Amino acid sequence: MTTMTLVQAVRDALHSQMKLDPSVIVIGEDVGVNGGVFRATADLIKDFGDDRVLDTPLAESGIIGMAMGMAANGLRPVAEIQFLDFIYPAFDQIVNEVAKLRYRSGGKLSCPMVVRAPYGGGIRGGHYHSQSSEAYFTHTPGLKVVVPSNPYDAKGLLISAIRDNDPVFFLEPKRLYRSVKGEVPEGPYEVEIGKAQVTRPGKDVTILCWGAMVPTCQKAADLCASRGADCEVLDLRTLVPLDETAVLDSVKKTGRVVIVHEAPKTCGFGAELAALIAEEAILYLEAPIIRVAGFDTPFPYALEHVYMPSAERIALAVGKVKNF
């Protein structure tokens, strides 16, 4: 085991898979000589050369289109989008081509590619560098959406994503890149895509979260414990495919649910979770479902700390459902 930050775990996953599989290619803006804007691809070009670590023009549609072409022809590209906020010029390529290649070819073609993108707030990036757009991609059949919250999961899930035969969106919480550390095995290993993890067991209230909100929810659970509420924190890890069994088992145990995400509240992925619980476990509920989320505004710069869910905001929501 080695202690790593989350961004180091991402780089380690890339390095291990490029060493094992010559079909793994890294492409994106400044991923080569510069090592990526967050240095997630640092020195890969020295180890594998510029025919496997490709610096691209500032053209997201070109990056995604190139990766799709590579994937359809036997390679396993990992395309980096510098910030998730920059991905919208490639939206047509993603939704109409990448996600549908297997379907429209009748299973004759697959698209084994990964799109890595830092997402979310917490680094005072303002409205062009802080968005949480995961719901757009969870709404697109044919895509898998993975969001790690710690170094161990980051490495294992990224390796699983690279080895997957379908396109995977791998969203990295940049707020946690260097603020969390953890023990990570030195060799390659997989964390199964589609499996949630209980990071804190509890009996009173279920808190559903993912990515950068997991540590915040852990802090909220500690705060709630001092106020008499025993919270279970469930890290979804994967939004598509969703571990519905884990979600429903936790809800049936506690009867109370708080859903937490950074994205705006309206049509955020929390709404899908609330609908699932209402459809499958409504008779187990002892209180209304509460969502703690970003606001329905552009992501603010000066008021970032107000926009993003805090431990206190989450604890207040827990108190409401606990005392309903």
Q: What is the pLDDT along the chain (324 residues), one digit of tens a residue?
A: 899 999 999 999 999 999 999 999 999 999 999 999 999 999 999 999 999 999 999 999 999 999 999 999 999 999 999 999 999 999 999 999 999 999 999 999 999 999 999 999 998 889 999 999 999 999 999 999 999 999 999 999 999 999 999 999 999 999 999 999 999 999 999 999 999 999 999 999 999 999 999 999 999 999 999 999 999 999 999 999 999 999 999 999 999 999 999 999 999 999 999 999 999 999 999 999 999 999 999 999 999 999 999 999 999 999 999 999
The structure tokens listed for 195 are 């499996």
Predicted confidence at residue 247, as pLDDT, reads: 98
Q: How far is CA 113 from CA 28, 99, 152, 201, 239, in A?
A: 13, 11, 21, 35, 18
Whole-structure pTM value = 0.97
Q: Which of 127, 129, 139, 305 is catalytic?
A: 129
Active site residue 261: no
Predicted confidence at residue 40, as pLDDT, reads: 98
Q: Which of 102, 100, 134 is nearest to 115 (CA)?
A: 134
Q: Are 22 and 70 contacting, i.e. CB atoms less than 8 angstroms apart?
A: no
Q: How far is CA 310 from CA 72, 214, 217, 321, in A?
A: 43, 11, 8, 17
CATH no. of 2-184 = 3.40.50.970
Per-domain boundaries in the chain: 2-184, 197-322
Predicted confidence at residue 293, as pLDDT, reads: 98
The structure tokens listed for 61 are 């549609």
Query: Given phi > 0 = left and psi -120 to 50 = alpha, else beta, which region is 120?
Result: left
- Between CA 279 and CA 101 the distance in angstroms is 32
Predicted confidence at residue 279, as pLDDT, reads: 98
For residue 118, whether the previous peptide bond is cis, meaning omega lies within 30 degrees of 0, is no
- Between CA 176 and CA 38 the distance in angstroms is 12
- Between CA 86 and CA 89 the distance in angstroms is 7
Predicted confidence at residue 55, as pLDDT, reads: 97
Predicted confidence at residue 21, as pLDDT, reads: 98
Domains 2-184 and 197-322 share a fold: yes
Q: Which of 172, 161, 48, 57 is nearest to 114 (CA)?
A: 161
Q: Residue 58 CA to chain centroid, in angstroms?
A: 23
The CATH number of 197-322 is which of 3.30.1300.10, 3.40.1160.10, 3.40.50.920, 3.90.180.10?
3.40.50.920
